[in-house]
Amino acid sequence: MSQNFRLENIGLINRDKKLSFKFNGKTYFGYEGDTLASALLANGVHLVGRSFKYHRPRGFFGAGVDEPYAIVQLYRNNETEPNIKATEQELFEGLEAKSVNCWPSVNFDIGAINNFLKIFLPAGFYYKTFMWPKSFWYRIYEPFIRKAAGLGVASIKHDKERYEHKYEYCDLLIAGSGPSGLSSAYAAAKNGAKVILAEDKPRFGGSLLTSDVNIGNQSGKDWADGIIAELKTMPNVVVKNRSQIFGYYDHNMLVMSEKVSDHLPSTKKYHPNKRLWYIRAKEVLISSGSIERPIVFGNNDTPGVMLSSAAKEYLKVYGVLVGRNPLVFTNNDSGYETAIEFKKHGVDPIVLDSRKNPKSEIIDEAKNLGINIKNSYVVVAAQGYKKVKSADIASISEDKKQLGKIENVKCDCICVSGFWTPTIHLASQSGNKTKFKEEIDAFVPGQSKQNERTLGAANGIFSLEETLKTSFAAGSELSKKITDNDNEVSVPNVVEKKSSQHDKFWCVPLPEGKNYKRFLDFQNDVSVSDVEIALREGYRSIEHVKRYTTLGMATDQGKTSNLNGLQLVSEIENKVVPAVGHTTFRPPYTPVSIGAIVGREVGNHSKPTRKSPMHTWHEKNNAVFVDAGVWLRPRYYKRGDENLFEASKREAKNVRTNVGVCDVTTLGKIDVKGPDAAEFLNRVYTNAWLKLPVGKARYGVMLREDGIVMDDGTTTRISEHHYHMTTTTAQAANVLSHLEYYLQLVWPELNVNVVSTTEQWAGAAIAGPKSRDLLKKLFPNSDVSNEGLPFMGYMEGDLFGVKARIFRISFSGELAYEVNVESDNGNFMWEKIMEIGEEFEIQPYGTEALSTLRIEMGHVAGSELDGRTIPYDNALEGLVSKKKDFIGKRSLQRAAFTADDRQRIVGVVPIDKKTSIPEGSHLVKDANAPLPNPKLGHISASCWSVEHDNPFSLAILKDGKNMIGEKLFVMSPLKNKIIPVEIVSSHYVDPKGERVRS
């Protein structure tokens, strides 16, 4: 088949570049500059899909963003994308597309049986029919509906395309490059304002590409080309095509999706597929134009019935005839413009005008060309199943209630025009309360809410002359306000044909004895009778009618159906349209790829990755890493074919018998400085801080005001007014904000400053009975003996020329130290520790061994300080001062927090001393109790105790204090485990804490 419907001498496509493409497996040809829709129509293909509910054949209805029917599954570069509008998809060599919503094929569709069962599928039918009996929904209805009625299919493969986000600021953001957008952009640009002009289509010019007008003694299109060319040379202007502004958010933030690569066979290297622009504009000019609306008549969904403006666009932009025997059905002059274009290109249309005797320049021209015009005539119904074959037409009475004798005329397409609906979505999204404009039977923006102004057809102004005048003025005025420049630009003279008043007529009555489906919403198959049912059943609010019938809820969001739906409700309810009101417009204006919204924050980029200065060493030494917040930490260092369990056991055991070293750089570190630092810490921590001497560290617990433990860590007094606070890795950022909150807002009188120093220090924990021997060799000039550096002591040292901080603190419960050096020296420190530690059989240990060591010691960490526990629960009540006040103290008096059987940390050992206990399991008294089995507590952390060589867990257990020695059961329905256990002390190793002081 070879583009039989393509004309030779018209269109903006590039005929030098022929492209081949496939639709439903069949190969066709088109040209560069085509859309998939125009290329299919050039080949006479009108059947592209099936409708949502009844699976009726679907063709093309529009030529752009408003298209309700022509939704395809696109295949490009071995990827697939669902729900692409054929009217928006530009053709490229090798494009492949398939129909959606039809099974097994577009020509034979099993779902079309719904069409014959339509008596069972009225409005609200999903709600009514499928809700009962309940079990039928899951087993029968839902799977059936999914198979038969789904839209496209999303790819389950990883999306290899790249999507970018861009943030931009400008003086004027102008949405749409039609006559209004061009005029205001030009005027503003001349005043030196920073302008962004966005056009969703590939070509700039909007209606000027298809209208027969003259601006400044040239055709509208030539004028548009000239303006765009000049704007592109101006450094203060960004001109973007293929870019849809889809959302208007708070404080003049708009979001635009730029299709960078969709028109290419594959995305160029280093280019994104789409780019999402977040634009903060001082002023927004909405020049989004208008969308033609249909007139409703019988079988108005038959392929071949389309908007008259679309037929004109296919002809003038793509050189494509949508039919050779067209019928134009109109209630205004726009239909004539389409008819005139047909006539000029050798096709004889018939025009049916619902008006009795309209007069205008356009109509005169049509008459002069000899076009067959029938006044007071309407299309009653389209005939034909997969394509329009003829139309039943009739005269209509002046009150539009009575039809004359039905006649049948042959035609192959019906081009319908029910006047124009301003595209007010962006204005409405901005918060603008729209108002109904009687003269045009449509809503237009009302009082501006943000810094936005709507111009031209989007504002209900259909005269080109007035549009240019007001748009030039708006561009000048707003830019002048910002730049203070006042460069006069003269408005070019305009030649356009004046139109006559449209007919307030939108729906053809049914002829006697006929029950044609008359569709309002073409994508969701909502017909006039559906809305009638909804109203009959008592739905009144337009929002409810919408949801009950699904009118305007399809992917096209009712761009062609909303107003006719309102007209119908207003007619039945006998209310004026503004009293019915319209449903809320919400972003996005058109569907946006999820990929574009996500941007580059996928996979490893979904969060930053922080690495310690010793990361490379860990890598070289077979570390297996684990995510710890945004940090990567060594989980264990693999030797041979060890697994996690074996390796961590070896590492932990080596700490208990020799010495180990662990990278603790990730711990949060905060410098607390100032004369009131001690007082501040005294208020932040539960324990006393006023008497901590210089050179000493102290363990502290801080609460939230609600009494829950927020974090713990050691803080060291480095000098008189300088403290070094450590936090857990996970809470570092929260703790800093917390401290800043109290310093800035609650106790501003305290002379204290805090700053994060996490990244300034590299840290190594050196733990084990041989750690002091190692330390002596690392710091030969320092006295690190038990007397020189006692438990919780601090000193500065010289590590082979590098300044170091040495803390005698322990998380493992062994004799241990923590050495900090400036980050740049971290690797040097680590290598020295490993080198000198060799004679003491040092081994690095990862987070898994670290956990094992702290769990069997009964030291709490994030899994116990989980935002639900108070100090008592963690056996930390000894650190809660009775004398002084501190953050959260008052909450600890609450009855639940002082109850006798309050939950408390305990140790848990399986009776068989073999079975590992899954973390998160519940503790119950009776494993066989009926469900729901009362939960007494949960396992917070589990390990294999290297000291006792059996499993050991920590648990938060109700009345834990009095439960030591009890036998309970651990239940894990997830792991399908029931384990008999004994409750023991949480201090499973060295309960007196002698080792750390040794």
Partner 1 sequence: MLYIKCPHCGMRPQTEFSYGGDASVKRPELNKDISDQEWDDFVYNRKSLRGKHLELWQHISGCRQWIKVERDTSTHEIFRTFRADEEVA
> Nearer to partner 1 by C-beta: 156 or 745?
745
Rounded to the nearest 10 degrees, what angle do helices 542-549 and 562-573 cross at? 120
**Is 252 exposed, middle or buried, given 0-12, 13-18 or 19+ CB atoms closer than 10 A?**
middle
683 binds partner 1 (CB under 8 A): yes
**Residue (705 or 835) nearer to partner 1, CB:** 705
Residue 194 in contact with partner 1, rule: CB under 8 A: no
Least distance (Å) between residue 249 CB and partner 1: 6
One-letter amino acid for residue 678 of the chain: A
Which residue number, 721 or 884, has a Cβ lying nearer to partner 1?
Answer: 884
Residue showing tokens 């729900």 = 83
Query: 422: which residues sit within 8 A by CB, 6+ positions away?
Result: 289, 290, 440, 442, 443, 444, 454, 457, 458, 459, 460
610 lines the binding site for partner 1 (CB under 8 A): no
**Interface region with partner 1, contact rule CB under 8 A, candidates 293-301, 744-752, 772-780, 871-879:** 744-752
Is 280 a residue that touches partner 1 (CB under 8 A)? Answer: yes
Is residue 745 a contact point for partner 1 (CB under 8 A)? yes
Minimum Å gap between C-beta 758 and partner 1 is 14
- The reply to whether 627 sits near partner 1 by the rule CB under 8 A is no
Q: Nearer to partner 1 by C-beta: 242 or 738?
A: 738
Q: Does 900 bind partner 1 (CB under 8 A)?
A: no
Cβ contact 193:283 at 8 Å:
no
Residue 286's identity, in one-letter code, is I
Within 712-741, the residues that bind partner 1 by CB under 8 A are 737, 740-741
Q: Is residue 252 at the binding interface for partner 1, with CB under 8 A as the rule?
A: yes
- Alpha-carbon separation of residue 950 from 214, 909, 910, 913 (angstroms): 90, 8, 8, 5
* Integer Cα distance of 364 and 333 in angstroms: 11
Burial of 584 (0-12, 13-18, 19+ CB in 10 A): exposed
Are 607 and 627 in contact by the 8 Å Cβ rule? The answer is no
753, 652 Cβ separation under 8 angstroms: no
278 forms part of the interface with partner 1 (CB under 8 A): yes
As a whole number of angstroms, the distance between CA 547 and CA 376 comes to 36
Closest-CA residue to 319 (of 348, 334, 341, 297): 341
Is residue 492 within 8 Å of residue 223, measured between CB atoms? yes
The closest of 986, 968, 988, 969 to 907, measured between CA atoms, is: 986
Euclidean distance between CA atoms 324 and 5, whole angstroms: 8
CB of 161 to partner 1, least distance (A): 24
Q: How far is the CB of 878 from partner 1 (least distance, A)?
A: 22
Four-residue CA torsion sign, 780, 784, 785, 787? positive
Binding of partner 1 by 897 (CB under 8 A): no
Q: Is 368 in the site for partner 1 (CB under 8 A)?
A: no
Residue 881 Cβ vs partner 1, minimum distance, rounded to whole Å: 12
Burial class (CB in 10 A: 0-12, 13-18, 19+), 817: buried
* Token pair in block for residue 817: 């130290």
Q: Which of 7, 121, 234, 253 is close enough to bind partner 1 by CB under 8 A?
A: 253
Shortest distance in whole angstroms from residue 175 CB to partner 1: 18
Q: Is 706 in the site for partner 1 (CB under 8 A)?
A: yes
* Closest approach of partner 1 to the CB of residue 273, in Å: 23
Q: Report the residue number, 694 or 746, with the smaller CB distance to partner 1.
A: 746
Contact between 395 and partner 1 by CB under 8 A: the answer reads no
601 binds partner 1 (CB under 8 A): no
510 binds partner 1 (CB under 8 A): no
Size of the site for partner 1 (CB under 8 A): 25
DSSP for residue 511: P
Paired tokens of 162: 């790249």
Helix and strand tally (H, E) in the chain? Answer: 25, 50
Q: How far apart are CA 896 and CA 878, in angstroms?
A: 19
Cβ closer to partner 1: 681 or 968? 681
- Least CB distance to partner 1 at residue 432 (A): 12
What x/- string results for residues 35 through 54 when contact with partner 1 is judged by CB under 8 A? Answer: --------------------
* 606 binding partner 1? (CB under 8 A): no
Closest CB to partner 1 among residues 504, 884: 884
Residue 749 interacts with partner 1 (CB under 8 A): yes or no = no
431 belongs to the binding site for partner 1 (CB under 8 A): yes
| Shortest Å distance, C-beta 131 to partner 1 | 34
**Using the rule CB under 8 A, which residue among 139, 146, 157, 251 binds partner 1?**
251
d(CA 838, CA 988): 30
Q: Is 757 in the site for partner 1 (CB under 8 A)?
A: no
- Residues binding partner 1 (CB under 8 A): 167, 249-253, 278, 280, 431, 683, 705-706, 737, 740-741, 744-746, 748, 884-885, 890-891, 893-894
